[in-house]
Amino acid sequence: MDEPAPPENASSEQSRVAAVENTRKLFSGLRVVSLLTLLSRILGMVRDIGMATLFGNGPIMDSFSVAFKLPNLARRLLGEGALSTAFLPTFIRELENQGRASAWKLVTAVLFWLMLFSLLIVGVGEILLIYLSSLESASSEARLLYWLTGLLLPYLILVCMAAQVNATLHALNHFSIPAVLPAILNLFWMAGIWLVAPFFPEASDKITIICLAILAGGVLQLILPCLKLFSLGYRPRMDWQGGLTQIQTIAASMAPIVVGLSITQFNTLIDSVLAWGLARPEAVVGAGEVSAWEIFESGTASALYFGQRMYQFPLGVFGVALGTVLYPRLSRHAERQDGDLLRQDLLLGLQLVIGVGLPASLGLCLMADPLSSLLFQYGDFDVFDARQTAEMIRYYGVGVVAFMAVLILNRGFYAVGDTRTPVRIGVVIVICNLLLNLALIWWMKGKGLALATSLAAMIQSALSLWLIREKTGALDLRKLASTTLRAGFATLVMSVLIYLELQLLPVFDQFQYRLLRVLVPLVSAVLVYLYLAHVLGLTEIMTLMKSGKQTPEKTE
């Protein structure tokens, strides 16, 4: 009667080894994507320094920040957002059940219909912008916005197609080429700022050149992943009947995914549009004749843009990278009905979010002024602009953990085929954000827009965490709470250190002093936090920092 025991033990050991290997692969892919994303974000900060130096916080930068947000939002929804999220499980299912040839037909069909749809959107958008620009009632600021939006709309086609090719590469476990593409865009953008724009005296000509540089970068962003996909054996093969059937299946699941994934982007778009639409014209600032609806100072939309760029730094380097690597794995676990591995990876993702997000959040809040001064206070970007931007960084920074958690939790819902719950949550959150905006802007001005978005994200993450248990089974909230307490204590010690160092370091306008006020607290904070993470047993964070085949200890 004792004979069955050894096979059971062997099976248990095999499961444990498989789980460890599963985790090792997750960390390996995450490190690759995070490092390449870090490169892109650093280049992005350098790019933003150039934009701030050229244009400061004013009408030019306000118009550009709104114009660029529109195709960027479409990219996140149609490209790397809803379409990719709906496509990836279907592609994995087709690849595992029908083989690679059938999967290539699906890829061709999706790319073809995406190209037609994006061409239609851009065509209609360009016609509408031409009409709006022709209206005599359009102000000079509005005409500039329409012009820049018209220039950047074709970027929507390029980046959506590239994002879809990237989703195919992700499903095939190739992450490096997609992760390096944002760096390519930043290099083209920076070339426009420093190599071409200086030859043009007018600010409107400079911003036009930069928009054209973005379009050129978009072309290369599409070519590189296509070349990689072709090297993996892809050849366009259109199966009209089968392709249409699969497209209809993907399209049917896209609509709710669009809503679920777009909440944070939609809320930040609302912030920018409100800041642009309710701003006092630069010509009347200080003139005394201000409408009751001209709530914000000129430059608020620009400050929001730079503030969003800063909170998106940790969000992109870690949150988006984690979601990119984790989602194909969650989808495979769900397809194979392996609930244990699915819950294990989802819990690990949330633990990593807390371990990285908490120090990033408090770090942004405390370092907002030194960061804004170091990165942006040059040329036309004066002290007032830097302080205005620092406030946005601070209040967006409050929500970093929540923004990251929502990314992971939404992908948990989609992996198990639940597209409706994020929609229901999203509707509530958009209403919450609008109400919070209306409540806060009257006494906090532009800062209220940023804080409202952060608070709305906190509500969204809490609701998502509560409701996902119905779909995946109960997560081990005790482990999550333990990680939160340990990471919270380490973050608190780190924050005290940052505060004390900022009080002691000299405050001067020279670059070397600005750099010193950022580097000293940043380096010491990272070292102290990692040391405390080691002492307190935050194994997820320590393993993330290691290379090779080391894995976290087995968790029960």
| pLDDT for residue 61 | 85
Decide: 181 and 225 in contact? Cβ < 8 Å: yes
| pLDDT for residue 98 | 80
| pLDDT for residue 8 | 47
| pLDDT for residue 384 | 86
pLDDT (tens place) for every residue of the chain, 556 residues total: 444 444 545 555 555 555 555 566 667 777 788 888 888 888 988 898 888 888 877 788 888 888 887 777 776 666 556 677 778 878 877 887 788 888 888 888 888 888 998 899 999 999 999 999 888 887 888 888 899 999 999 998 998 899 889 989 988 888 889 889 989 999 999 999 999 999 998 888 999 999 999 999 999 999 999 999 999 999 887 665 556 667 777 777 776 776 676 677 677 777 777 877 776 665 444 445 555 566 777 778 888 888 888 888 888 788 878 888 888 888 888 877 888 888 988 999 999 999 999 999 999 999 999 999 988 888 778 888 889 899 999 999 999 999 999 989 988 998 888 888 988 898 899 889 889 988 998 888 888 999 999 999 999 999 999 999 888 888 888 999 999 999 999 999 999 999 999 999 988 888 888 999 999 999 999 999 999 999 998 887 877 766 444 444 333 3
Decide: 58 and 300 in contact? Cβ < 8 Å: no
Instruction: Report which DSSP code applies to 279.
Output: B
Decide: 344 and 19 in contact? Cβ < 8 Å: yes
Q: In whole angstroms, what is the distance from residue 61 CA to residue 67 CA?
A: 10
> And the tokens for 184?
């390519």
Q: In whole angstroms, what is the distance from residue 283 CA to residue 385 CA?
A: 17
> And the tokens for 147?
């012009």
- DSSP lists the bridge partners of residue 279 as 296
Q: In whole angstroms, what is the distance from residue 50 CA to residue 38 CA?
A: 19
Q: Where are the domains of the chain?
A: 19-283+296-545
> Residue type at 476?
D
Instruction: Report which DSSP code applies to 283.
Output: G
Question: Exposed, middle or buried, 142 (CB in 10 Å: 0-12/13-18/19+)?
Answer: middle
Q: In whole angstroms, what is the distance from residue 531 CA to residue 497 CA?
A: 14
Name the residue with tokens 């992908």: 411
| Phi and psi torsions of 50, nearest 5° | -65, -40
Q: Where are the beta strands (DSSP E) in 33-80?
A: none
- Kindly report the number of other CB atoms within 10 A of residue 351's CB atom: 23
Q: What is the 3-state secondary structure (H, E, C) of 288-308?
A: CCCCCCCCECCCHHHHHHHHH
Q: In whole angstroms, what is the distance from residue 441 CA to residue 395 CA?
A: 13
Closest to 444 (Cα-Cα) out of 455, 460, 459, 428: 455
| pLDDT for residue 68 | 87
Instruction: Report which DSSP code applies to 280.
Output: P
Give the chain's length: 556
Outline where 377-399 has alpha helix (H): 383-397
Write out the DSSP string of 120-136. Answer: HHHHHHHHHHHHHHH-T
Decide: 52 and 381 in contact? Cβ < 8 Å: yes
Write out the DSSP string of 253-284. Answer: HHHHHHHHHHHHHHHHHHHHHHHHHTBPPGGG
| Phi and psi torsions of 296, nearest 5° | -100, 150
| pLDDT for residue 531 | 94
The residues near 247 (Cβ < 8 Å, ≥ 6 apart) are 109, 110, 113
Q: In whole angstroms, what is the distance from residue 273 CA to residue 441 CA?
A: 14
| pLDDT for residue 21 | 59
Secondary structure element (H or E) that encloses residue 181, with its range: helix 176-191
| b (16+ CB within 10 A) / e for 531-544 | ebbeebebbbbebb
The residues near 491 (Cβ < 8 Å, ≥ 6 apart) are 358, 359, 362, 529
| pLDDT for residue 358 | 95
| pLDDT for residue 550 | 43
Name the residue with tokens 């974000």: 41
- DSSP lists the bridge partners of residue 296 as 279
Secondary structure element (H or E) that encloses residue 478, with its range: helix 477-504
| pLDDT for residue 40 | 86
* SS3 at position 348: helix
Q: In whole angstroms, what is the distance from residue 434 CA to residue 16 CA?
A: 47
| pLDDT for residue 211 | 94
Q: How many CA atoms are closer than 13 Å to the CA of 57, on its beta-carbon side?
A: 29
| pLDDT for residue 266 | 75
